[in-house]
Homo-oligomer: A and B are copies of this chain.
Amino acid sequence: MINQLITKIKETGAPIVVGLDPMLKFVPEHITKRAYAELGETLEGAGEAVWQYNKTIVDNIYDVVPAVKPQIAMYEQFGIPGLAAFKKTVDYCKQKGLVVIGDIKRGDIGSTSEAYAVGHLGKVTVGSKSYYGFDEDFATVNPYLGSDGVKPFIKVCKEEKKGLFILVKTSNPSSGEFQDRLVKAQAAVDGQDVSQGDALDRPLYEIVGEQVARWGEEHMGDSYSYIGAVVGATYPEMGKILRKIMPKNYILVPGYGAQGGKGKDLVHFFNEDGLGAIVNSSRGIIAAYQQEKYAFFGPEHFGEASREAVLDMRKDIADALNSR
């Protein structure tokens, strides 16, 4: 799947993933109105509105981006009907040829991570049959529980030719609270000679990054690993270091646009081959029609606004990469 993702990135010239994170305040009134008329102001109505909204966006962007990243929380908030809209969205995107990254940030002890892995990337066995639950192509994973929380995901990815993006340094303002903590060099902990001293102490995200790099090397596609990492666009200096620590891991970069990241912040996330990173934008694309710049499209033509925003983002990134 990582090979397929890279092929599609090359074809579209867009190292871009569109975050399908549909808050109801983004959904144009003509869509909510129709959904509520049919199903009422209910969880079912909300699910239908979100699905119709997604469908129009996907119809307008599927040929210019390689991938989408639905954030499952935005669906889960509407309970079962919301998750049904998530599943519908995943299926539709795959049908349109898009690579689907399930932004689920799951992670648990071994046997539990196995259940998540099976449910989102693999097949679950029921009696003599087996079924895909949600069937995304990639999933994001939280590493706080350590290797035995991550390995069941890797195992399923290997079997199913799918992939992961493991959280290393997230894009949010307080991500440093634990992720940036300076970890004592293992040599010092072990009581070895540490004459090089503090040079060996490193922030936790680098330690996690090194582990992701090791997993990456063991699980390679053609040129990159199918085990990737998440590193926020909002921390470009850290991105630069992590790029070097994880040369073979694709980096999923959230935080572009609405969260503050710009094209020029992104160049260090890419390798010399122009590959190695895929940049996410969510509300900057899906709610483009609500921005002054794209307001002339009007709410009725929100899908076209999203397409225009993708093309602008593609240019912003290409310009930044060309002038580095």
What is the CA–CA distance of A170 and B107 in the complex, to the nearest angstrom?
11
Additional A-B contact list (12), CB under 8 Å, known A82-B133, A143-B144:
A32-B127, A76-B119, A76-B134, A78-B131, A78-B133, A79-B87, A80-B80, A144-B179, A146-B179, A178-B204, A178-B207, A181-B181
Task: Given A134-B79, A183-B184, verify A112-B71 contact (CB < 8 Å).
Answer: yes
- Tell me which of B46, B87, B176, B204 contacts A204 (CB under 8 A): B204
Are B109 and A107 in touch, CB under 8 angstroms? no
- Tell me which of B106, B132, B148, B167 contacts A144 (CB under 8 A): B167
What is the CA–CA distance of A41 and B105 in the complex, to the nearest angstrom?
29
Task: Give, as a whole number of angstroms, the nearest-CB distance from A185 to chain B.
Answer: 9
- Tell me which of B73, B129, B146, B211 contacts A176 (CB under 8 A): B146
Residues of B within 8 A of A113 (CB): 73
Task: Given A181-B183, A183-B181, A184-B201, verify A149-B134 contact (CB < 8 Å).
Answer: no
What is the CA–CA distance of A147 and B79 in the complex, to the nearest angstrom?
25
Within 8 A of B (CB), among A68-127: 71, 73-74, 76-80, 82-84, 87, 105-113, 115-116, 118-120, 124-127
Residues of B within 8 A of A79 (CB): 87, 119, 124, 131-134
A-B CB contact pairs (8 Å), 25 listed:
A23-B111, A41-B127, A41-B128, A43-B131, A71-B108, A71-B112, A71-B115, A73-B108, A73-B112, A73-B115, A73-B116, A76-B116, A77-B124, A78-B119, A105-B108, A109-B170, A144-B179, A146-B176, A149-B170, A177-B211, A178-B208, A182-B183, A182-B184, A183-B184, A204-B204
How many A residues, CB 8 Å from partner? 76
Task: Give, as a whole number of angstroms, the nearest-CB distance from A268 to chain B.
Answer: 21
Q: Annotate A35-47 by CB proximity to B: 1 below 8 A, 0 otherwise.
A: 0100001110110
